[in-house]
Amino acid sequence: MSRPSGRKAPPKGEYIETDSGNKVSRRSAITGTANITLGGRTVIMADVHLRGDLHPTRSTTSTTTSSSSKDVTPTSISIGRCTVISTGSTIKPPSRISRGAVHYYPMKIGDNVFVGPNCTISAISISSHVHVGANTIIHPFAIIKENVKILPNSVIPANMVIPSGSVVGGRPARVVGEVGEGWGVSGGGASGGLGVGGGGEKAWVEGGDLRELVRSIK
Amino acid sequence: MSSQPAARPSADRRTSAIQKRVSILPKPSSMVIDPSVLIAQHAQLTGTHPITIGPNAVLHPHCKISSVQAPVVLGEGVVIYEKAKVGVGIGNADTESRRSSVVPSPGSRDSLRVDGTVLGRNVVIETSTVVEAAEIGEGSVVEVNAVIGQGCVIGRFCTISASSVLPPNTHLPDFTVVYGASERRIDYTTQARPELQEAKMMMHTKQIEIFKKLVPNNVTKWTS
Amino acid sequence: MAQSFPYTYYSCDCYDSKAATVAAKRASAQLQPEEDEEGRTFDPRNPRSNYSLYPLEHLLYCQDCQQVRCPRCVIEETLNWFCPSCLFEVPSSVVKSDGNRCTRNCYNCPVCTSPMNVSSLEDPNDPSTSGGPWILSCPYCRWSTLETRIEFEKHTAITAQLSRIANGGKPILTAKERDKDREKRMEQDKRKSRDILSGSEDSPTGDQQKSDEVPSHDELFSNLAAFYKSQLAAQTPSNPFSPHDINFSSPSSFSRIMNLYSTTTSKKQKREKPTPMRETASTLEGLTIHDPSTDAAAIERIRKDGWSSTLSPTQKLAQPNPNIRFSSELRPVAALLCTKRGKRCRNCRHILSKPESKITSTRYKIKLLALNHIPRLSLRALEPPAAPGTPAPPPFDYSALKSGIPQHFVLQLANPLFDPIRVTLATPSTTPGKVQSRVTILCPQFEVGANTDVWDDALSSSVSPVKSGGASSSIEAGKIWDRGRNWTSVVIEVVPGFLRDLLAKEGEGEELDEDEDVLEIPVFVRLQWEADVNAEERGLGDSMGKKGEREKREEAFWTVVGVGRIVRL
């Protein structure tokens, strides 16, 4: 569906752009690509590891010994639209033991999520408009709701639920504040004018619409 | 909406690049790899000293084992995740730059424990860690982004929590948990309950089972 | 100021406007005496400025007062309470009685504050029907209730189970059982003392008290509560309410207490002066006498177990009973509740923001952001354009400004209003603080276009003054740098000050204060524009109403632009 448009083009840029506008770095490391869905206009930067091979096995019975490709491919990582995964980050679905066997669980990342550089993420779900600071570690089965800001160098413990609108930080992370009403609102009527053509400001704000940021990544 | 085709070329290209580089590097003079070991694609084993990998160990893609300065021994059921680096000297410099300066010496088994890295049974080395420790005991877990300096001796069932940094030559007794801003405590729960240790080991074994189901094995590249 | 450079903070003058006279007096007394109030420049390093500077995103705007409202000049009203961990709403009726804590299974680790998991201790070889026993365990620091020897039978209703198990696994009496127990023992005491008085029994009462264990925190509290309840009941035998059921917080008991302390001039007060309450006299009444032997025991224990068995102040303070000393006394901490709050203007009580009351909803019914009323200022370093062919220069390092070397920055104003605005910028020529940097705004007066629809701009492209003719993009005094639909940018020249001069001047050994090397420029912004009268009432998109009626508006405020950090040479 999303065949890379620039696959054969000789002047290779850093990113391969799919039909739906996803930009995937040539230097990213993705395993189990069949189990990964990208929502469109999503950026996967260099050195990002997506562990799509660690997919749920329960639905496809026990026939999955080595060739599970014939079955309906299970989704292990699904990432929404306009989400940016920065360099050096690792996305790894969480696993746990249940009924005597280890199972991987599908991980969901929403729209307009920004993941900073060198993060390691095993959350079960990250909702939309979440900003994850650099070097953050999110342990398995954490749930991160909408409009959350995670400060850099945080460690989110396993199974933690972060309510929407929180600012969290620390090792282990705790809620340290609220993002406030203006979170994600790019003020100044920024629709368009800002940042374009030598405008001073970055045209996106944390937690806001990341379309401009995605557009600027080449 | 799968991005499968999108990513594939990059992966292919990556393979070729790495293979090329690996071929330049000196292969470990003696590599003892148990046939039951799972080594994923893109896992790197470099260095001239011997590397020993026990049965049922799992090496995830893009992890690096370096025996450039000293031998490495991975015990039974050791799991090393992506981007983790194991081996003396791997943390502070690029392995290639050091390669020339180190005179390869014939690795003798007796010296393994003295100047090398020995990971005990069922040790888990998480993503993006740097492990230069001398010894890590059975069942210990080194969590994401942790850095363990040279000469560290870590006991059994220890937990080095995420982003912790252990300075060189740290000695941790069994059941130590390093957490927060380098705080330490003893995990009395696991210490007091041998059945919990057992359960932990059992879970680990099952985890390895599922890795064998899901991760394609590339061990032949290294054993042949 | 942990935000990355460059940043802009807006000053809300809510404090100064109220205390202006006092502040001015103080400021003039302490700082430069020549400063008068009008000419006073905003000093971002003033300790008080910490409390008036906010990022634009955190400010609200009251349309009635036509003023910015910061978190200090709004009134918050709680819409509902919820647990941040299980996201269940807690009815306001029980919030107080539950101590603002979740009563489900949400607990935080007493050692590291991480949320705890309920995990099973089930022996896989011998599975139990319930899957238990269960414990609370911390996924981060691995503390678990096993360390205080607490196990649960079920994995649900942890709070109820925990309230019945003391550390060590012994059961805790419920309040009722405790009352019964107390009464029984009081009876015994009485009988004994009677016996002593009658001389038939020779064992002294002290014996029995010694045999009692030190009462726990909860026991003490309940004993004390029961004692004072009985005292109150004794004070007012004519109490219309049941004497056994007195609530301390009930209005009747409150008025009674007030009566106790109020003057007896009241004519209604016919009763004689109440006898003062007596104090507690025994352990059963909640009396605690410090026992020095406990200290010796504690010291002995530290000697034996080492410092690791003691607690840090933060760990203690997080506990329900902050008087504990040892890790064996730790209890899991129930999760504190969070709130959803609406905000009102402190002056006119108009609602400024009101979230939807549903916990899961992130939407707002009302949200009046300053973002939509105040232009956004933003700064960017102006870099010489890279010559074609050469590799692009590395991005400007805001945290390494070079002293004495003039650097140009572009300051951009984006207008969120639907009318064009006229802007006047002002800044002190040298920044306040020890490190004095010279600042010049090359074009302090300019206009910013209206925030019209993007498409308006596109449709009227023939006349649009769009971006950057060659002439406008030059660094020239009195000329703007660039402009777009609703934004205009001007150039600022900054000569970062010298850190070294300062050190030399003040003599060696004296260190700069923290963040003294941060270059922050106070910028005064004055806006003038013409707006439709009562545009807010008519609704923004409504074109009805008399068109011609326009009024002049003006707005002025201080901002602080954080440029970067001056690097030490």
Q: What is the CATH number of the domain that holds B92?
A: 2.160.10.10
Beta partners for residue C487, in sequence order: C414
Q: Which residue of B has its CA nearest to A80?
A: B1
Chains that touch A (3 or more CB pairs under 8 A): B, C
Q: Which of A39, A24, A161 has its CA nearest to residue A85?
A: A24
Q: Which of A27, A171, A144 has its CA nearest to residue A83?
A: A144
Please tell me which of the candidates C362, C375, C411 has its beta carbon nearest to residue A165: C362
What is d(CA C307, CA C326) in angstroms, rounded to the nearest whole number? 9
Whether A15 has its CB under 8 Å from any CB of chain C: the answer is no
DSSP letters, C253-321, are HHHHHHHHHS-TT-SS--SPPPPPPPPP-SGGGT-----HHHHHHHHHHHHHH-GGGB--HHHHHHSSS
> Strands B141-142 and B124-125, how do they pair?
parallel
pLDDT score recorded for residue C21: 45
Q: Which tokens go with C268?
A: 């209604």
CA-based R_g, chain B, Å: 17
Torsion over CA: C502, C508, C510, C511 (sign)? positive
Residues C295-319, mean pLDDT to the nearest whole number: 88
- Residues with Cβ within 8 Å of A165's Cβ and at least 6 positions away in sequence, in order, are A145, A146, A147, A148, A178, A179, A183, C362
What is d(CA C545, CA C181) in angstroms, rounded to the nearest whole number? 78
Q: Which residue has the higher pLDDT, B217 or C502?
A: B217
Chains that touch B (3 or more CB pairs under 8 A): A, C
pLDDT score recorded for residue C266: 52
Contact: B195, C123; criterion CB under 8 Å: yes
Residues C99-128, mean pLDDT to the nearest whole number: 85
Q: Which residue has the higher pLDDT, C65 or C213?
A: C65
Beta partners for residue C551, in sequence order: C531
Please tell me which of the candidates B3, B82, B179 has its beta carbon nearest to residue A90: B82
pLDDT score recorded for residue A87: 93
What is d(CA C556, CA C422) in angstroms, rounded to the nearest whole number? 12
Mutation target among B175, B177, B193 for the C interface, most CBs of C within 10 A: B177
In a domain, B5, yes or no: no
Q: Which residue has the higher pLDDT, C221 or C353?
A: C353
> Which chain A residues are within 8 Å of B126, Cβ to Cβ?
120
In a domain, B12, yes or no: no
Contact: C141, B193; criterion CB under 8 Å: no
What is d(CA C385, CA C405) in angstroms, rounded to the nearest whole number? 18
Min mean pLDDT across A165-169, C190-194, C223-227, C545-549 is at C545-549
Residues A147-156, mean pLDDT to the nearest whole number: 93
DSSP SS3 for B221: helix
- CB neighbourhood size of C511 (10 A): 8
Contact: A92, B162; criterion CB under 8 Å: no
CA C437 from chain center: how many Å? 34
What is d(CA C73, CA C497) in angstroms, rounded to the nearest whole number? 36
User: Please, which pLDDT band fits residue C378 given cuts at 50, 70 and 90?
Assistant: confident
User: Please, which pLDDT band fits residue C249 given cuts at 50, 70 and 90?
Assistant: low
Residue C231 has pLDDT above 50, yes or no: yes
Please tell me which of the candidates C59, C115, C414 has its beta carbon nearest to residue A160: C115
Residues C163-186, mean pLDDT to the nearest whole number: 80
Q: Which of A218, A187, A207, A184 has its CA nearest to residue A83?
A: A207
Q: Which of B191-200, C280-289, C375-384 is the most confident on average?
A: B191-200
In a domain, B4, yes or no: no
Min mean pLDDT across A161-165, A169-173, C306-310 is at C306-310
DSSP SS3 for B72: strand
- Domain range summary for chain A, segments of one domain joined by +: 15-216
Number of domains in chain B: 1
Residue recorded with tokens 């992506």: B82
Kindly state the percentage of chain C with pLDDT values over 90. 9
Minimal C-alpha gap between C114 and chain B (Å):
11
Find out whether C324 and C309 touch, Cβ atoms under 8 Å: no
Mutation target among A97, A155, A171, A181 for the C interface, most CBs of C within 10 A: A181
Residue C529 has pLDDT above 60, yes or no: yes
> Which chain C residues are within 8 Å of A191, Cβ to Cβ?
454
What is d(CA A189, CA A182) in angstroms, rounded to the nearest whole number? 13
Environment class of residue C415 by beta-carbon count within 10 Å: exposed (0-12), middle (13-18) or buried (19+)?
buried
User: Please, which pLDDT band fits residue C547 given cuts at 50, 70 and 90?
Assistant: low
Q: Which tokens go with B142?
A: 């080194």
Distance between start and end Cα atoms, chain A: 22
What is d(CA B66, CA B54) in angstroms, rounded to the nearest whole number? 16
Using the 8-state DSSP alphabet, how is residue B194 labeled? H
Task: Compute the count of residue pairs across chains A and B with CB atoms less than 8 Å apart.
Answer: 148
Torsion angle (degrees, nearest 10) of CA C226, C228, C230, C233:
-140
Residue C448 has pLDDT above 70, yes or no: yes
What is d(CA C72, CA B185) in angstroms, rounded to the nearest whole number? 42
Contact: A92, B6; criterion CB under 8 Å: no
Q: Which of A208, A168, A216 has its CA nearest to residue A191?
A: A208
What is d(CA A127, CA A131) in angstroms, rounded to the nearest whole number? 10
Find out whether C110 and C319 touch, Cβ atoms under 8 Å: yes
What is d(CA A147, CA A183) in angstroms, rounded to the nearest whole number? 7
Q: Which of A58-72, A102-116, B35-49, C280-294 is the most confident on average?
A: A102-116
Q: What is the pTM of this model?
A: 0.80
Residues C426-445, mean pLDDT to the nearest whole number: 84
DSSP letters, C545-557, are S-SS-EEEEEEEE
> Which chain C residues are within 8 Å of A162, Cβ to Cβ?
84
Residue C543 has pLDDT above 70, yes or no: no
Interface of B with C (CB under 8 A): 159, 161, 177, 179-180, 183-190, 192-193, 195-196, 199, 202
Whether A180 has its CB under 8 Å from any CB of chain C: the answer is yes
Q: Which residue of A has its CA nearest to C491?
A: A200
Q: Which tokens go with C133?
A: 């026993």
Q: Which of residues 285-344 of C touch B (CB under 8 A)?
A: 308
What is d(CA C84, CA B116) in angstroms, rounded to the nearest whole number? 47
CA B21 from chain center: how many Å? 20
What is d(CA A18, CA B3) in angstroms, rounded to the nearest whole number? 8
User: Please, which pLDDT band fits residue C463 given cuts at 50, 70 and 90?
Assistant: very low
> Which chain C residues are within 8 Å of A198, Cβ to Cβ?
467-468, 473, 482, 489
Please tell me which of the candidates C55, C451, C482 has its beta carbon nearest to residue A198: C482
What is d(CA B141, CA C292) in angstroms, rounded to the nearest whole number? 44
**In three state form, how does the secondary structure of C351-400 look?**
EEEEECCCCCCCCEEEECEHHHCCCEEEEEECCCCCCCCCCCCCCCCCCC
Q: Which residue of A has its CA nearest to B126?
A: A120
Whether B11 has its CB under 8 Å from any CB of chain A: the answer is yes
What is d(CA C316, CA C325) in angstroms, rounded to the nearest whole number? 7
pLDDT score recorded for residue A108: 94
User: What does residue C28 show for φ and ψ, rounded to 5 degrees?
Assistant: -70, -30
Min mean pLDDT across A144-148, B137-141, C295-299 is at C295-299
Q: Which of A196-210, C131-145, C183-197, C199-213 is the most confident on average?
A: C131-145
Q: Which residue of B has its CA nearest to C307?
A: B185
Residue C471, amino acid: A
Beta partners for residue C439, in sequence order: C494
* Domains defined along chain C, listed by start: 7-58+375-383+395-565 (2.60.40.10)
Q: Which of C215-224, C331-340, C374-383, C457-466 is the most confident on average?
A: C331-340
User: What does residue C467 show for φ and ψ, rounded to 5 degrees?
Assistant: -15, 125
Using the 8-state DSSP alphabet, how is residue A87 labeled? T
Please tell me which of the candidates C137, C142, C147 has its beta carbon nearest to residue B159: C142
- Residues with Cβ within 8 Å of C8's Cβ and at least 6 positions away in sequence, in order, are C55, C56, C376, C377, C378, C379, C559, C560, C561, C562
Q: Which residue has the higher pLDDT, C155 or A24?
A: A24
Residue C517 has pLDDT above 50, yes or no: yes
What is d(CA A119, CA B123) in angstroms, rounded to the nearest whole number? 23
Q: Which of C115-124, C211-220, C241-250 is the most confident on average?
A: C115-124
**Residue span of the structural domain in which B34 resides:** 27-223
What is d(CA C262, CA C15) in angstroms, rounded to the nearest whole number? 38
Helix H or strand E encompassing A211: helix A211-216
pLDDT tens by residue, C327-344: 888 899 999 999 999 999
What is d(CA A70, CA A73) in angstroms, rounded to the nearest whole number? 8
Task: Express the helix, strand and coil content of chain C in percent, nearest 5 each.
Answer: 25, 25, 50
What is d(CA B15, CA B42) in angstroms, rounded to the nearest whole number? 7
Helix H or strand E encompassing C440: strand C438-441
Residues of chain B below pLDDT 70: 1-29, 91-114, 224
pLDDT score recorded for residue C406: 86
What is d(CA C144, CA C130) in angstroms, rounded to the nearest whole number? 20
- Residues with Cβ within 8 Å of C206's Cβ and at least 6 positions away in sequence, in order, are none
Q: Which residue has the higher pLDDT, B14 or C418?
A: C418
Residue C187 has pLDDT above 50, yes or no: yes
User: Please, which pLDDT band fits residue C534 given cuts at 50, 70 and 90?
Assistant: low
Chains that touch C (3 or more CB pairs under 8 A): A, B
pLDDT score recorded for residue C57: 84
The CATH architecture that domain A15-216 belongs to is 3 Solenoid (2.160)
What is d(CA C284, CA B220) in angstroms, rounded to the nearest whole number? 77
Please tell me which of the candidates C84, C139, C454 has its beta carbon nearest to residue A161: C84
Residue A179 has pLDDT above 80, yes or no: yes
Please tell me which of the candidates A181, A188, A198 has its beta carbon nearest to residue C468: A198
In a domain, B17, yes or no: no
Q: Which residue of B has its CA nearest to C310?
A: B185
pLDDT tens by residue, A196-214: 333 334 567 777 888 888 8
Residue recorded with tokens 């108009």: C350
Q: Which of C465, C40, B63 has its CA nearest to residue B74?
A: B63
Residues C559-568, mean pLDDT to the nearest whole number: 84
User: What does residue A64 show for φ and ψ, rounded to 5 degrees?
Assistant: -75, 80
User: Please, which pLDDT band fits residue C201 given cuts at 50, 70 and 90?
Assistant: very low
What is d(CA B51, CA C357) in angstroms, rounded to the nearest whole number? 61
Minimal C-alpha gap between A119 and chain C (Å):
17
ipTM, 2 dp: 0.82
Please tell me which of the candidates A146, A175, A191 has its beta carbon nearest to residue C84: A175
In a domain, B136, yes or no: yes
- Residues with Cβ within 8 Å of C279's Cβ and at least 6 positions away in sequence, in order, are C287
- CB neighbourhood size of B198 (10 A): 13
What is d(CA C174, CA A94) in angstroms, rounded to the nearest whole number? 41
pLDDT tens by residue, C145-165: 988 888 888 888 888 888 888
Whether B16 has its CB under 8 Å from any CB of chain A: the answer is no
Q: Which residue has the higher pLDDT, C470 or B126?
A: B126
Helix H or strand E encompassing C333: strand C333-334
